[in-house]
RNA sequence: CGGGGCGUAGCGCAGCCCGGUAGCGCGCCUGCUUUGGGAGCAGGAUGCCGGAGGUUCAAAUCCUCUCGCCCCGACCA
């Protein structure tokens, strides 16, 4: 296509609202424009990238036997009420009424709708398994849209749903998706990990996320290079290192030592005051659950993992100052696990060792506290995994990386098929709920991740598979007839070969064309300048390596083969 | 929803404390020169200073309210 006819509004300066690299570059290079918070317009170049990604997704989904269909974005409330999610989901769902006053919503995802369809159309085990997918707009009233197209209120998602007769079938569909997803992300040129994740509001059983490592990512993942363990920090386990504990006095009367710690409340204050490492402290956090107060105990160097705790004690909130004082008679900075009957949940790492904890006495801490002996607690993993802690499966050190969630796969089981009565008849004529899976990919997140992982100071470096064009022709001086003639001939010939070509036919200076070409990031640039033309040559520049090769003008096949690699 | 920041020309910003009728760079338009890494000279156009109300002789500037956008946190299929 001709640059002069395309809408490619490049910007010399970074947009003020952008923070993430992919966001800055997508705006600067003329791929997207923001309409409002979390709402983006895809300009021609941006849309070409999304379409390239979608094509790869379609190919890989079709390969595993998935069938494409399309479901509405506007949904009647009743279906969401039947699964209970109408009430479970809060402000994140866009809700509206139609003219007849009926409650409606805009689809955040399509489990309800696809299950409704299955309940109507699937009769027999002979019709299973099925995989249905769509590439469809989703709407979520995000509390905080951010990072350009990474978190938006309206976005396109490839979502697929599997229907099987039993768990073994679901396992097969799940693995088929895993394979397809690995192919898709690899073909899109992404570095990624598949990690264990929290099923969250999807419910059901196992789930994994596909994570593209990037500093712009909102998620953190724990990874083990040794055994391949990988998990979102939302659920990642870890084996904390064991600190050197002080020896415990034999004489029971000398066990405890109350130490005065005036005005020292936080772990930092107390550790520096007593000159002890934070690992030798018990951090006590008072929360109020549905069944009353709970004291959560983690080691001083650890952070309480609220989601892990929630799985044990149910919903809770942190206790107010006066509640702490009422329950333990002392303010929060000096509370500890001893001498009261409040339910205690402690991190596993506290099972061994001797610690300092709050003394439940204003201005005092207590040394020599030995869990199990000195107080009883329920033990569980309730700390957030950290880099260098041990891998829960092999013990080797973990690393923690930020990552963008580009895809996920969930085993739903019968969570949706039961309430929506999506059943099939088995060989015996018995009615059995269909076993389902749900699988998502965000094409815009793939595009943003590709930029996050492939750019330099001059701009984007697209992986060839998802680049808006294959080749960018730069006729430097459009007033030189020879330049134009060669450029046009090359343009025509490459197009005939099925190569997607952008030709910068603008009457602009060479510098501007070079800068825009590097910013836009098409993997190969064919530079047509008068000096080389005199020798019958053109240059082909590799955007990533910046290597330049000269070719004879007639040597089209060599140019083509270079650009196709 | 809590905390912070910012709304002034198409874009990036200054001016605001200390009120006096709006400025810089880039871009845009015209002409000439230039033409291998965001050209030079000359001329030109462009603003409801986010919105509403108030104070004042006078408001981009001070006060109140409101809307929008960004960042941190909470939340997040």
Average pLDDT, chain A: 92
- In tens, the pLDDT along A370-404 reads 998 889 999 998 999 999 999 999 999 999 999 99
Report, as an integer, the average pLDDT of A145-173.
97
- Positive or negative torsion for Cα A376, A381, A382, A385: positive
- In tens, the pLDDT along A405-447 reads 999 999 999 999 999 999 999 999 999 999 999 999 999 999 9
Tokens read off for A300: 């001083």
Q: What is chain A's alpha carbon radius of gyration, rounded to the nearest angstrom?
A: 30
pLDDT at A187: 98
A358, containing H or E segment = strand A355-361
Strand B nucleotides, any atom under 7 Å to a protein CB: 1-2, 6, 11-13, 25-27, 34-39, 68-77
When pLDDT is cut at 50, 70 and 90, the band that residue A548 belongs to is very high
| Weakest-pLDDT range from A42-51, A55-64, A304-313 | A304-313
Residues 382-411 of A with CB under 7 A from strand B: 405, 408, 410
Residues 328-357 of A with CB under 7 A from strand B: none
**Tell me, in Å, how far CA of A30 is from C1' of B22?**
31
- The CA-atom distances, in angstroms, between A395 and each of A238, A302, A303, A547 are 8, 18, 20, 44
pLDDT at A544: 97
The region that residue A189 occupies, defined by phi over 0 for left and psi between -120 and 50 for alpha, beta otherwise, is left
**Tell me, in Å, how far CA of A291 is from C1' of B12?**
56
Let me know: does A286 contact A319? Beta carbons within 8 Å: yes
**Tell me, in Å, how far CA of A89 is from C1' of B66?**
30
Report, as an integer, the average pLDDT of A300-308.
87
pLDDT at A251: 66
Let me know: does A184 contact A192? Beta carbons within 8 Å: no
pLDDT higher than threshold 60 for residue A5:
yes
In sequence order, the 6+-apart residues with CB closer than 8 A to the CB of A137 are: A73, A154, A155, A156, A157
Half-sphere exposure of A502 (CA within 13 A, CB side): 26
When pLDDT is cut at 50, 70 and 90, the band that residue A466 belongs to is very high
Which value does ipTM take for this structure?
0.94
A432, containing H or E segment = strand A431-433
In sequence order, the 6+-apart residues with CB closer than 8 A to the CB of A541 are: A524, A525, A526, A527, A547, A548
pLDDT at A253: 67
**Tell me, in Å, how far CA of A15 is from C1' of B67?**
22
Match 């004879």 to its residue by tokens.
Answer: A552
- Does the C-beta of A227 come within 7 A of strand B? no
- In tens, the pLDDT along A289-302 reads 888 888 999 998 88
Which DSSP state fits A186? H
- Does the C-beta of A444 come within 7 A of strand B? no
When pLDDT is cut at 50, 70 and 90, the band that residue A273 belongs to is confident
Could you write out the DSSP letters of every residue in A230-273?
A: EEETTT---BPPPP-PPPPPSSGGGS-EEEE-TT--SHHHHHHH
**Tell me, in Å, how far CA of A560 is from C1' of B43?**
48
pLDDT higher than threshold 70 for residue A53:
yes
């Amino acid at each position: 296509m001709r640059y002069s006819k395309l809408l490619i509004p490049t910007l010399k300066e970074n947009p003020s609202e952008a923070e993430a690299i992919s966001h800055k570059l997508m705006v600067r290079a003329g791929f997207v424009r923001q309409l409002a918070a979390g709402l983006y317009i895809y300009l021609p170049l941006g849309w070409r990238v999304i379409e390239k990604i979608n094509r790869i997704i379609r190919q890989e989904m079709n390969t595993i036997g998935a069938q494409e269909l399309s479901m509405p974005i506007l949904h009647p409330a009743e279906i969401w009420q039947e699964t209970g999610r109408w009430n479970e989901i809060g402000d994140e769902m866009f809700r509206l009424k139609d003219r007849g006053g009926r409650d409606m919503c805009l689809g955040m995802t399509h489990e309800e709708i696809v299950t409704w369809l299955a309940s109507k159309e699937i009769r027999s085990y002979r019709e299973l398994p099925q995989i249905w997918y769509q590439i469809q707009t989703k709407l979520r009233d995000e509390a905080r849209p951010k990072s350009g197209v990474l978190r938006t209120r309206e976005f396109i998602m490839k979502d697929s749903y599997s229907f099987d007769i039993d768990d073994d079938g679901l396992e097969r569909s799940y693995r088929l998706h895993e394979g397809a997803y690995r192919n898709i992300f690899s073909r899109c040129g992404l570095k990624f990990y598949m990690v264990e994740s929290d099923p969250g509001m999807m419910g059901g059983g196992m789930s994994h996320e596909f994570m593209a490592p990037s500093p712009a990512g909102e998620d953190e993942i724990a990874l083990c290079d040794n055994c391949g363990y990988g998990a979102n920090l939302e659920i990642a386990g870890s084996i904390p290192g064991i600190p050197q504990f002080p020896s415990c006095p034999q004489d029971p009367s000398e066990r405890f030592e109350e130490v005065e710690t005036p005005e020292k409340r936080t772990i930092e204050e107390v550790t520096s005051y007593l000159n002890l490492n934070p690992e030798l402290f018990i951090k006590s956090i008072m929360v109020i659950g549905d069944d009353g107060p709970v004291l959560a105990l983690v080691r001083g160097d650890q952070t309480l993992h609220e989601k892990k705790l929630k799985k044990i004690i149910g919903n809770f909130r942190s206790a107010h100052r006066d509640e702490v004082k009422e329950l333990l008679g002392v303010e929060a900075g000096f509370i500890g696990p001893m001498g009261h009957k409040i339910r205690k949940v402690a991190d596993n790492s506290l099972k061994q060792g001797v610690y300092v904890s709050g003394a439940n006495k204003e201005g005092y801490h207590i040394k020599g506290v030995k869990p199990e002996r000195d107080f009883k607690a329920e033990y569980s993993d309730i700390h957030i995994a950290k880099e260098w802690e041990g891998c829960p499966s092999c013990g080797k050190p973990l690393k923690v990386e930020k990552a963008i969630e580009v895809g996920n796969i969930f085993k739903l089981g019968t969570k949706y098929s039961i309430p929506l009565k999506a059943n099939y008849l088995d060989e015996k004529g018995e009615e059995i709920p269909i076993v389902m899976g749900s699988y998502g990919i965000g094409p815009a997140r793939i595009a943003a991740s590709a930029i996050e992982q492939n750019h330099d100071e001059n701009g984007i470096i697209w992986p060839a598979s998802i680049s808006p064009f294959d080749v960018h022709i730069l006729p430097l001086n459009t007033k030189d007839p020879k330049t134009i003639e060669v450029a046009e001939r090359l343009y025509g010939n490459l197009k005939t070969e099925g190569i997607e070509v952008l030709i910068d036919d603008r009457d602009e200076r060479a510098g501007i064309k070079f800068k825009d070409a590097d910013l836009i990031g098409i993997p190969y640039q064919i530079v047509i300048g008068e000096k080389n033309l005199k020798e019958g040559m053109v240059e082909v520049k590799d955007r990533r390596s910046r290597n330049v090769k000269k070719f004879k003008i007639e040597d089209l096949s060599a140019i083509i083969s270079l650009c196709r690699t």
